[in-house]
Amino acid sequence: METDALRGCEALKSPDTPRRKREDREAMTGDLFHSDGSRKYLTQDERQAFLTAATQFPHTVRSFCAVLTYTGCRLAEALALTADRVDLGASRLTFETLKKRKRGVYRTVPVPPDVVTMLDFVHNIRRAQGRRDRGRSLRLWAWSPVTAWRYVKAVMQAAGIRGAQASPKGLRHGFGVAAVQARIPLNLVQRWLGHAQLSTTAIYAEVPPRKMP
């Protein structure tokens, strides 16, 4: 925080040169674009292509891809999802925010009803929730992070998506961009993504709105 304060003071003293303007722009969009201008996030069309390609894969891979796409969760957070955190009635998923310094921080993200219906069909959620532990012991995907990453990359390739955005992180960024462009309040997007600072979420507002055909 002290470093940020010092930078703010220096900015007041420094002239507003073209170089400074360029640096400020890169700082605002640096998490979503590479220095060559290539995107780190999936567009809405790419997200749809990804979901369509996932239908060609086993049901477990398809359900995993749907959760990543519709919640913007981190790969490890999806892998940690258990049956008891699937709310079939309210169409919500609850994730533990694994990037926090302390454990036990959770957030709930709404999803389309079709997603929880798929999860119930593929992973027998309702039956698991009828057990004594309410499904707490059932991880939906008993994969390693490497295996999960490879499945995502395989679906990306099947969808014809190439580049830095063809990754789990690209799906997370794509969710953030889509949510902001759908006029979801930033503080709500922040909560869904599990960001500690609103400034982290605000980068998605820097992406130009999608042009309508």
135 and 162 assigned to the same domain: yes
Q: Are residues 109 and 188 in the same domain?
A: yes
21 & 54 share domain: no
CATH of the domain at 68: 1.10.443.10
| φ, ψ of residue 87 in degrees (nearest 5) | -95, 100
**38: in domain:** no
Residues 58 and 126 placed together within one structural domain of the fold: yes
Same domain for 95 and 156: yes
- 14: tokens are 């420094």
Q: Locate tokens 């014809």: which residue?
A: 160
State the pTM of this model.
0.83
CB atoms within 10 A of CB 63: 22
Sign of CA dihedral 196, 199, 205, 207: negative
Q: Do 5 and 106 belong to one domain?
A: no
The number of domains in the chain is 2
* Structural domain containing residue 15: 1-30
Based on the domain organization, do 18 and 113 belong to the same domain? Answer: no
Looking at the structure, do residues 141 and 186 belong to the same domain, yes or no? Answer: yes
Cβ contact 201:189 at 8 Å? yes
What secondary structure letter does DSSP report for 97? -
Residue 169, in any domain of the structure: yes
Together in a domain, 192 and 108: yes
Residue 171 placed within a domain: yes
pLDDT one digit per residue (tens) for the chain, 213 residues: 434 333 333 433 334 444 444 433 433 345 788 777 788 999 999 999 999 999 999 999 999 999 999 999 999 999 999 999 999 999 999 999 987 667 889 999 999 999 999 999 999 999 999 999 999 999 999 999 999 999 999 999 999 999 989 999 999 999 999 999 999 999 999 999 999 999 999 999 988 776 544
Residues 105 and 17 reside in one and the same domain: no
Give the span between the Cα atoms of 209 and 70, in whole angstroms.
19
